Amino acid sequence: MNDDAQTLRRGPTIELTLQMCDLVASMTPQLLEVKSTWFDWWWSTCPTDLNGDFVVDAEDLGIVLADWGTQGPGDFKLDIVVDGKDIGDVLTTWGPCP
pLDDT in tens, 52-84: 888 999 999 999 999 999 888 888 888 889 999
Number of structural domains (the chain) is 2
- State how far the Cα of 64 lies from the Cα of 66, in Å rounded to an integer: 5
User: Is the C-alpha dihedral spanning 21, 33, 37, 3 positive or negative?
Assistant: positive
The closest alpha carbon to 36, from 7, 79, 65, 72, belongs to: 7
The answer on 54 and 18 residing in a single domain is no
- State how far the Cα of 54 lies from the Cα of 84, in Å rounded to an integer: 22
SS3 assignment, position 76: coil
Residue 60 dihedral angles phi and psi, to the nearest 5°: -65, -40
pTM above 0.75, yes or no: no
The answer on 71 and 23 residing in a single domain is no
- Confidence (pLDDT) at 29: 54
pLDDT in tens, 5-42: 333 334 444 555 555 555 555 555 555 555 554 444 44
Indicate whether 94 pLDDT > 50: yes
